[in-house]
Structure formats: structure tokens, C-alpha cells
Amino acid sequence: MIERYSRKEIKQIWEDYNKYSIWLDIELAAAEAMEKLKIIPRGVVKKVKSKAKINVKRILQIEDKVKHDVIAFLTSITEKAGKEARFLHKGMTSSDVLDTCFNLQLKQSGEILLKDINLLLQSIKKQAVKHKFTLCIGRSHGIHAEPITFGLKMLTFYQEFLRNKKRLEDSIKGISTCAISGAVGTFANIDPRIESYVAKKLKLNIEPISTQIIPRDRHAQFFSTLGIIASSIERFSVEIRHLQRTEVLEVEEFFGKKQKGSSAMPHKKNPILSENLTGLARLIRSYVMPALENVALWHERDISHSAVERNIGPDATIALDFALCRLSNVVKNLNVYPKNMKKNLDITNGIFFSQRILLELTAVGFTREESYKIVQKNAMQTWEGNSSFYENIVSDKKITNKIPVNKIKKLFNFDYHTKKINIIFKRSLKK
């Protein structure tokens, strides 16, 4: 991931130094278990730990010659630690180190992403509660439908990200496995108790059965979850972009005092953060398909997944971390304009009360088809003319012959559309 979209905490997880440090932790944990089981001499771990140093530059130099990253790493450690290092990696295969490390990195990244989601949830909840009864028009197909509140709009995103949090928790649990099972997963050259020890040491679960690798359906689930979260980010971002359009202007991204909008047009205040998030969401979703395709590897192992994961592991998690934090900041500092929401409500002269009239007409004896025809005629007259929907309704004798005008007036009441909001909030915010 490029520096522009990389935050320090999660970026460090994917740096070479951290990767090799995890490799060393795995090797030393396995050696500790071997010592306890009297497979290797006592004191090996202590001696190696005191002398071993991670030298990224040297590891890469060796790899350039031997064309094998784990061998290069072990050679580098041996150069510093001496002959005791020969006991490292006993009975293990490269994938034991690589896969366990990769899963641990995904787990570490996932835990940061969980923190990001929690911060976002706080920002959304605050806006939802603040605007619980702030009226605005609900739109279907982009067209004015019926009144809702801005708080309800925010609440839909709150619930969506609660589901995303649960999905991510499940995916982290699924990916948090360790495999130290040897060349084709048979434990022929290594005791299963060593795997259990390493897993406990690294706070991972053992992989019940591996081949030479940890099964990639786990990874497919993890990256698919990141893709779903990215789609939620895009849905939120697109909503902000639509609502910030000049003709709508119900919300607006915060705009700094010294911020510039357009290089050519000084009046512009563009929804650049939401547009950026839309683009990042597309990028993150693009990592999902390669993860799904990685599931079908040859026999007990091939390395077709390796180059894929070296890219999508850091890139997907780093990009999503950045996107979640950016969205949280956008929501937290969002400018909300209730007056414009009210102005937009009034644009259509009350035709969004059409369903209330429809239902009342059916209640007094009209068929649904008759009711629909009568209401639609008056709605179209309102749409095409200058009179309000209420004026047209009370002027229609077919309607007033069945429903008194004073009762019709009561049907044009915004409170009708907000009367169940407390119920929705209560069930949506319950812990």
C-alpha cells in the first residue's frame, strides 16, 4: 500500500523486521517445546535468544543467492547465534513458519480493524441520537418517498457496522490458527505437542488438520469480510456524496479554513473524502477474488497463493484501516443541515402523504384500485401544477364525500411518520 494511505500502527505489522521477528518467535517457541520434551539439549533457546539478531538487510542478501526466504532467515540467525542454532527448525517445514506468521499478522491487523470499527460506531451512534427526530425525506430510486429522520438514516449504518464487527470477530477467530506439523502435515518428524506449545505461546489455536499449509478457506473468509466492510464504507460514502450535492445539501463534509476545493473554481467544496473512500472500497474488494481463488491449491501444497498473499495481506488490511479511520472522522465532523432537509421536504408540496390518503380511502369503502387511481390523479396534479397536495385532495369531491375535511387535515401530520422511532432506536441500540 502506498504511504499516502498507510497508518503507522498497522503498517508496522507488515514490515520485514516484524515478520522476521515473528519467525524467530515461532522457531524459539518450537525449540522451547523440544527442550521440554528432551528432543534437543537444554539451554539451546537461551543461547540462541541471547545471540540472535534480526538483520533484514543480511537476510535479503542471502535470499538473493539461495532463492529461499526461510533458509535465508535461518542462515542469518545461525551466523549470529552459532552452532546451537542448528537445532532450530527441527522437523519443521517452511510453511509451518510462513503460514503461522501470516495468520498472526492477519490476527494483529484484524484487532486494529476492530478498534477502528468501534470508533466508527461511536461516531455514528452520536449522530443517530443527536438527529433522532430530525425530519428529512426518505428516497427510493432517488425519488422522494416518505418522511424519515436523519437519525434513522444513521441508525441503519450503525446496525450494519455492528454486523461487520461480528463478521470480523468471527473471521479473526477463524484465521487465528497455528500449524507446526511438518512436510505434509503428518507430524512424521515433529511431535504434535510442539504445535500445541507454539500455539499457546502465540495465543493461537492449533490447526486441527493441515497438509503442508493451513487451509485457505480461512483466509478466503477473512478477506471476504474485509470486502463486505469495504462495501459498507462505500454505501455510507455514496449517501454522503448524494446528500452533499448542491441541489440537496442536507449534509456536508467538514471543510478546513485553509482548505481548497478546486484549482480552477474557488467556490467549490467537494466531497473528496467520501469520493476517496468509494475508490478505496473498490480497491479492497478487488483483493477478495484472489483470496477465493487461493483456496484451490494443488494436492498438499503449491505456492501459487504466495505472491498473492504477500500483496493482499498488507494492502487490504492497511487500506481498510485507513478507510475506517477516515470514515469515522467524516461522520464525527459531518455538517448536518436540518433547514435544508425541511426545505427539501417541502419541494413536492406534500405528495408524500399519498399513502395515508390511500389507506384512509380503503378504510371508508373504496377498493384499493379505486383509491390508488384517485390519489395518483391528485398527486400528478400537484406534481404538474402550483397547488399543494392537500389543496387538491380537499377539492376532490370523491374524497370529501367520504372523508370530512377536518379529518383529512389530520392525515397531513409529520408525527405519524415518527411515532415508532423510539421503538426502532430501542431495539437497534440494545446491547
Instruction: Please identify every residue annotated as catalytic.
Output: 141, 262
Q: Where are the alpha helices (DSSP H) in 333-414?
A: 338-346, 354-363, 368-384, 389-394, 397-400, 405-411
Amino acid identity at 392: N
d(CA 375, CA 402): 14
Burial readout 110-119 (b: 16 or more C-beta within 10 A, e: otherwise): bbbbbebbeb
Residue written as grid cell 507488515:
14
Whole-number Å distance between alpha carbons of 33 and 40: 9
Pairwise CA distance, residues 128 & 134, whole Å? 10
* Contact of 411 with 356, CB cutoff 8 Å: yes
Q: Which residues pair with 143 in a beta bridge?
A: 140
Q: For residues 278 and 275, give the distance between their C-alpha atoms in angstroms, rounded to a whole number.
A: 5
Annotate 117-171 with DSSP letters as a single string. HHHHHHHHHHHHHHTTT-EEEEEETTEEEEEEEHHHHHHHHHHHHHHHHHHHHHH
